[in-house]
Amino acid sequence: MSYTIALGTVGGGLWVGYNGGEKWRQIQGPMDPESNVRALAVDPRDSQHLVASVDFDGIYRSLDGGSRWERAATLTDRPIWSLSFDPHDPKRMYAGTRPGIFVSDDGGASFAEMTTTMSDRCPIGVPRTTNVLVDPNDPATVYASVEIDGLHRSRDRGATWESFGQLGPSEFYNDVHGFALRTCGNDTELLVTSPFGLGRSRDDGDTWDWHEFEGFEGSKFEFAYSRCVRAPWEDDTVVVCVGDYIPGRTGAIEVSRDGGASFQRAQLPETPKATMYWLATHVELPGVIAANSVYGQIYISDDYCESWRKLERELGEIRASVLIPTQ
């Protein structure tokens, strides 16, 4: 199956790459082509329905796989760092902001701020809600990851929240960049990334096992700085983006075939010039994954991470990406 790639950039707006990224088009309107697009999401029930955030402007949507866009909701008082659909409820969406979470129950036409346990201050200034995900095994359970404020959970669809507390030996393990849910039968495994690596919990967050990735030559750290994590397919594959720092001078893709217990660094056709930052997959595209560095390099695997190719086009500072099956 062929596919389209949509990319959100800082200062360069939204780009759409057709035929797997062979031909690119910048979206010129109605959103500003020089805007910051930090979040993208695809409706799990309709792969042609996309949403994108624009800093201090709002949320836009496309109903044709990314070709045409319209404003869906105005949300202007803070930047939006993550967008997600509730897989159990076609009308419910979440927007992770800096700080906080907003929720929509009308398909994204309007949003209301939720009352959470998140802090409004952190060592880097204002915390960012990097992911909001609904448990695939329990529609009432919602998780939110925060940079820097750890992991939070609601058992009642967001009416009330609780913090997981400290996830590792220091407060900076709560600098959660990436978050993914891995279904293991009727159980849900939690996967988080911090600057120190990948944390896994199989007991609902009571305990965490941390995996530290090998550092890069010349880096000031002995370990690799970790960003996005995905458990993309119905197997034991886990993929993590790493680099020497942010934005960094180099990066890599780490691949596990045993659920995150061990990893191998992917052999890429060209060494990234910045930290690898984001991963995009789609349930209708098994084996396909797109990975991008902070500064615009894009790598694609069509064979479950066995081999990779680099796209010729590089697109500035990329902060979000999605894959869209072509109909």
Convert the pLDDT of each residue in 262-296 to its tens digit: 999 999 999 999 999 999 999 999 999 999 999 99
**What is the per-residue pLDDT for 154?**
97
Q: Above 90 in pLDDT, residue 118?
A: no
How are beta strands 58-62 and 101-104 bridged, if at all? Answer: unpaired
Is-contact 7 294, C-beta < 8 A? no
Q: What is the pLDDT of residues 180-237, one digit of tens each?
A: 999 988 889 999 999 999 999 999 999 999 999 999 998 888 999 999 999 999 999 9
- In this prediction, residues 11-30 reach a mean pLDDT of 95
By the 10 Å C-beta count (0-12 exposed, 13-18 middle, 19+ buried), 192 is classed as buried
Position 83 scores a pLDDT of 97
pTM: 0.96
Residue pLDDT, tens place only, 76-92: 788 999 999 999 998 99
pLDDT band at 140; cut points 50, 70, 90 = very high
Mean per-residue pLDDT, 297-307 = 98
Give the pLDDT of residue 75: 83
Average predicted confidence (pLDDT) for the chain: 94
pLDDT band at 174 (very low <50, low <70, confident <90, very high): very high
Q: To which residue do tokens 């994108």 refer?
A: 52
Q: Is a pLDDT exceeding 80 seen at residue 327?
A: no
C-alpha span between 124 and 104 (Å, rounded):
28
Distance between CA atoms of residues 250 and 161, nearest Å: 38
Q: Which residue reads 């979206």 in tokens? A: 27
Say what percent of the chain tops pLDDT 70: 99
> Cα(52)–Cα(31) distance, rounded to whole angstroms?
10
Q: Quick one: pLDDT at residue 312?
A: 95
Question: What is the rounded CA–CA span in Å between residue 7 and residue 39?
Answer: 9
What pLDDT does residue 112 have?
93
pLDDT at 43: 96
CB 39 within 8 A of CB 14: no
Burial of residue 113 (CB within 10 Å: 0-12, 13-18, 19+) is: middle
Alpha-carbon 83 to chain mean position: 9
Instruction: Look at residue 109 and tell me whether its pLDDT is greater than 80.
Output: yes
Alpha-carbon span 192 to 175, nearest angstrom: 10
Whether the pLDDT of residue 123 is over 80: the answer is no
Closest CA to 11 of 38, 45, 35: 35
